[in-house]
Structures are given as structure tokens and as C-alpha cells.
């Protein structure tokens, strides 16, 4: 494999890069924070694996990672994603419309407490009999009592100039999707990009939300597409990308993400970083996209002098452990759950690794 002047691998036959590589294509030019990206990915995953093994804190000597809340290196390992995945597989007999309804209803609010209140008051949603008006009244009542029904993770569009409550607009959107046989059309798609395009065509679903929902639906039995073939860089990821690269060369932001997905093993080795992957599953483009968003936040504290394009200078949420990590559970089609059970049984003989300090790299010496 050839490299550029910074030692970064240059791929010329990348099956996951679209469009095909250009002749004499200029590869992205890394900034001093490029190494910080890979160190963050490795250390955040190491923390997750220690928690999954039942280790007690402290899990890291990195002051920023210890003090602030960051999502996991793998998106599917996050608390809300884990809850969604368990919910999606809790009822093996659910029909496609019901799988879709439960997934989108959960994700639009993206708040476990809201979902549990819906299930407690109305029962597990069933597409054939779900009462949208009753759900509307329930959510309206919560809002009147000033109970938050939306997560702050995503910026959700409002009902617009109509004055319609946001939750009612979203419920009507889901009902329209079901009436238009969207679940059946999604199930018939040939690739993740096709599912994204179907979702992107619906009101209020911009590029970022449509991509996130496509990934969530792909966790379920409704679809089974490769995550390697398509990615959309959200606003937070773009900020992280601009911090970690001086130039994207001839690549689009999405192509940079997919390029890094392909060279991940080479880069961990080159930078002498031990990366404990997800029980044999490599980072996918959705994970790289997510990592850039988190590195955007991380560097606000670790390298406050480096400004991105978002203009943000602080991290809102501090880390506070409220409960032990549940035993991980991933879509059975990934083939990881039995590996996890075997791994858990072997933890009594596990030797704890020495933590690395992801904040120890000076910005001036970050690129090898």
C-alpha cells in the first residue's frame, strides 16, 4: 500500500468509496488533531470494554473522558441504541408494520422514558390497532405537566407555521408513512442508500435524520443491509472533520469517512494504538461519523485553541454513572451475542490493560 507525505495510506482500489478514485487523486491532508481522533476512538472503546467486563472505575487516566459524557465508539453500543435493539427483538412475531412503527415512534422522541410511558399507558404499539389520537392525548398531557418528551440528542423540526404541536405533527407523519406502505417499500430496498432515499423524501426528515433512522431500522428485522456502503456526515461530524483535516483533497466528507473506515487497522497499527474492537466487528462508517462528532466535543476541552466550524467552546454534559452497564446485546444477524457470552465467562482470568492518556498528545506533535 502506498502512502502520502504524512504516512497516511493512499487507497487506489477502495470498493467502498464512491465515486471511483480519480486519476492522481489528492488524498485528505491531516491536521495536528488527526492522531487525537484515533486515540479517542481507541480509548473510548477501551473504557467501554472495561465497563462491559464489570471493572470498577477509574477506567481511564484521560481527564476529559473521565469528566464528560461521550457516546461510545460504536453507535450500536450506546444506551439508547441498546434499548432500541432489545425492544426490536423482544417480540419475534411482530409484523413489518409493527417493527417500523415501534422503531420510528421510539426514535422520533429518542427518549426511553417517553417510550416506557407510551407502553405503560397504551400497551406495546401494534400497527393494526395503534390509536394515534390516544397517543396524542397522552403526550399532550405530559407536555402540560412540563415533562420532557423529546431527547436533546437531535434537533427535531417543529410543526412549522401551522401552530400544530410538534408531537402531533410527528404522530401524523408516522401514520402517513404507514398509510403509504413505507415499511413494505423499505423491506424491498437493495441497499442502505435506497432506504435513506425513501426516508429522505418525507417532510421534516433532512439528510442527517433520514440517515440515522435508516441505520436504526437496519438494526431490526425489517432490513439487513451492509453499513459499509453509505454514510451521511452530520453537522457535528463535519465540525470534527474540519478540526482533523487541513484539506479534504478531492474527497467529499462522506468519502473521507469511508476512506478512514477502510484504513482503520493500518492507522491503529501505525500509531501504535491497541484497539479492542466490538468482538470482531470493525468500525463501520456510521461509527466513524459518530466519532468525528464526539471528537469535535472532546477537543473543545483538550485543544481549546483549535476552532472548528460550529463555533462551540464547551461540553454541556458531565459524566455521571447512574447504573451498571447492561450485558451488551446486538442484532442477532451480526453474530456477536454468543461471542459476548463466551467472553463474559472468560473475564475471571482477564488481565486489566494499562490505560493510555488520550489527552497527552500535544497538538503540535499529533501527526506521525
Q: Are residues 324 and 236 in the same domain?
A: yes
In a domain, 87, yes or no: no
In this structure, the answer to whether residues 49 and 102 fall within a common structural domain is: no
Does residue 73 sit in the same domain as residue 101? no
Residues 62 and 16 grouped into a single domain: yes
Same domain, 68 and 139: no
pLDDT in the model for residue 101: 98
Helix (H) or strand (E) holding 29: strand 29-30
How many domains in the chain?
2
* Residue 145 predicted with pLDDT over 60: yes
Is residue 314 within 8 Å of residue 296, measured between CB atoms?
Answer: no
- For the CA atoms of 213, 219, 222, 227, the dihedral, rounded to the nearest 10 degrees, stands at 80
- H/E element, 367: none
Is the previous residue joined to 58 through a cis bond, with omega within 30 degrees of 0? yes
Smallest CA-to-CA distance from 39 within 362, 361, 358 is with 358
Cis check: omega of the bond before 52, within 30 degrees of 0: no
Which of 298, 314, 329 corresponds to the end of one domain? 329
pLDDT per position as a tens digit, 226-243 = 999 899 999 999 999 999
Give the domain range for residue 261: 2-77+231-329
Instruction: Name which of 359, 327, 334 is nearest 284 in CA terms.
Output: 334
More confident residue, 37 or 158: 37
pLDDT band at 261 (very low <50, low <70, confident <90, very high): very high
**Does residue 248 lie within any of the structural domains?**
yes
Is residue 303 domain-resident?
yes
- Give per-residue pLDDT as tens, 109-119: 999 999 999 99
**Mean pLDDT of all residues in 94-109:** 98
Q: Are residues 65 and 105 in the same domain?
A: no
Asked if the structure places residue 276 within a domain, the reply is yes
| Domain-located, residue 249 | yes
- Please, which residues have CB within 8 angstroms of residue 84's CB and are 6 or more apart in sequence? 103, 106, 107, 216, 219
Handedness of CA 233, 312, 80, 184 (dihedral sign): negative
CA neighbours within 13 Å on the CB side: how many for 362? 2
- Residue 40 in any domain: the answer is yes
User: Would you say residue 355 lies in a domain?
Assistant: no
- Taking only the tens place, the pLDDT of each residue in 43-60 is 999 999 999 999 988 999
Confirm if 142 and 117 have CB atoms less than 8 A apart. yes
Same domain, 125 and 60: no
Report the distance separating Cα 220 and Cα 195, nearest Å: 13
Amino acid at each position: 500500500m502506498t502512502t502520502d507525505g504524512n504516512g497516511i495510506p493512499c487507497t487506489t482500489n477502495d470498493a467502498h468509496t464512491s465515486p471511483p478514485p480519480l486519476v492522481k487523486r489528492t488524498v485528505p491532508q491531516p491536521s495536528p488533531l488527526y492522531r487525537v481522533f484515533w486515540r479517542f476512538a481507541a480509548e473510548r472503546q477501551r473504557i467501554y470494554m472495561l465497563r462491559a467486563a464489570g471493572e470498577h472505575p477509574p477506567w481511564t487516566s484521560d481527564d476529559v473522558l473521565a469528566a464528560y459524557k461521550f457516546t461510545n465508539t460504536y453507535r450500536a453500543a450506546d444506551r439508547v441504541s441498546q434499548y432500541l435493539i432489545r425492544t426490536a427483538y423482544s417480540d419475534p412475531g411482530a409484523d413489518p408494520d409493527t417493527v417500523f412503527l415501534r422503531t420510528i415512534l421510539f426514535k422520533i422522541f429518542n427518549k426511553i422514558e417517553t417510550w416506557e410511558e407510551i407502553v405503560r399507558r397504551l400497551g406495546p404499539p401494534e400497527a393494526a390497532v395503534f390509536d394515534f389520537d390516544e397517543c396524542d392525548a397522552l403526550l399532550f398531557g405530559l407536555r402540560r405537566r412540563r415533562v420532557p418528551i423529546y431527547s436533546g440528542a437531535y434537533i427535531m423540526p417543529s410543526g412549522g407555521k401551522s401552530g400544530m404541536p410538534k408531537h402531533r405533527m410527528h404522530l401524523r407523519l408516522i401514520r402517513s408513512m404507514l398509510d403509504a406502505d413505507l415499511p413494505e417499500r423499505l423491506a424491498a430496498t437493495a441497499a442502505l442508500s435506497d432506504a435513506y432515499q425513501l426516508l429522505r423524501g418525507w417532510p421534516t426528515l433532512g439528510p442527517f435524520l433520514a440517515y440515522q433512522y435508516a441505520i436504526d431500522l437496519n438494526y431490526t428485522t425489517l432490513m439487513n443491509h451492509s453499513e459499509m456502503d453509505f454514510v451521511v456526515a452530520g453537522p457535528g461530524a463535519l465540525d470534527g472533520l474540519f478540526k482533523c483535516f487541513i484539506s479534504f483533497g478531492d474527497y467529499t466528507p462522506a468519502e473521507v469517512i469511508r476512506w478512514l473506515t477502510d484504513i482503520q487497522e493500518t492507522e491503529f497499527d501505525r500509531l501504535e494504538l491497541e484497539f479492542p474492537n466490538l468482538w470482531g466487528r470493525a468500525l463501520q462508517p456510521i461509527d466513524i461519523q459518530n466519532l468525528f462528532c464526539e471528537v469535535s466535543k472532546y477537543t473543545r476541552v483538550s485543544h481549546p485553541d483549535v476552532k472548528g466550524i460550529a463555533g462551540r467552546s464547551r461540553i454541556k454534559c458531565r459524566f455521571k454513572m447512574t447504573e451498571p452497564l447492561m450485558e451488551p446485546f446486538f442484532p442477532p444477524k451480526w453474530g456477536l451475542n454468543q461471542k459476548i457470552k463466551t467472553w463474559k465467562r472468560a473475564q475471571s482470568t482477564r488481565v486489566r490493560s494499562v490505560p493510555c492518556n488520550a489527552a497527552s498528545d500535544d497538538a503540535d506533535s499529533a501527526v506521525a
